[in-house]
Amino acid sequence: MKLKYKILAGIIAVLVVIQLFRIDKNIPEVDPKIDFITVSNAPPEIGSLMKSSCYDCNSFETSYPWYSNISPVSWWLKAHINDAREELNFSVWGSYSIKRKDHKLEEIADEVNEGHMPLPSYLILHQHAKLDDKQQDSFVNWINRYRQESQ
């Protein structure tokens, strides 16, 4: 019985100590002129969809939720955001090459059309980001039109 309490105390001690290791939530300054919504001149409804469904992970406009203050959840969250930004960052869209933009637009349309974005794991706590069929179709159609116009 005493061993159980020692193990429990050890686990609690580790959980308390790891709270000292915080993630970096600093957001770099970004030139709004190179943001995707500005560069693409996206209609307000598309911009709004993107802000609510894409920008938390794929831009520097991340809104960190309360649970981002709890380690080790915060570490997983930060790693996810870093990976997403590395793959596609709407805040620096204007700095991408034409070839990269075209490829990213194709990927965006495919991922949204197939229901892979926003990620199901993100939607668990962010139901506001879920796209209904009409929003999904509207978004994908606009991305495809923008892609054609950009070539």
pLDDT given for residue 48 in this prediction: 95
Q: Where are the domains of the chain?
A: 2-150
Residue range 56-113, pLDDT digits in tens: 999 999 988 888 899 998 998 899 899 999 999 999 999 999 999 999 999 999 999 9
pLDDT given for residue 144 in this prediction: 95
71 contact partners, CB below 8 Å, separation of at least 6: 18, 19, 21, 22
Q: Is the pLDDT of residue 126 over 90?
A: no
Q: Say what the pTM is.
A: 0.85
CB 140 within 8 A of CB 75: no
Residue range 2-56, pLDDT digits in tens: 888 888 888 888 888 888 888 888 888 889 999 999 999 999 999 999 999 999 9
**CA dihedral in degrees (144, 149, 150, 151; nearest 10)?**
100
pLDDT band at residue 1, thresholds of 50, 70 and 90?
low
Question: How far is the C-alpha of 19 from the C-alpha of 129, rounded, in Å?
Answer: 29
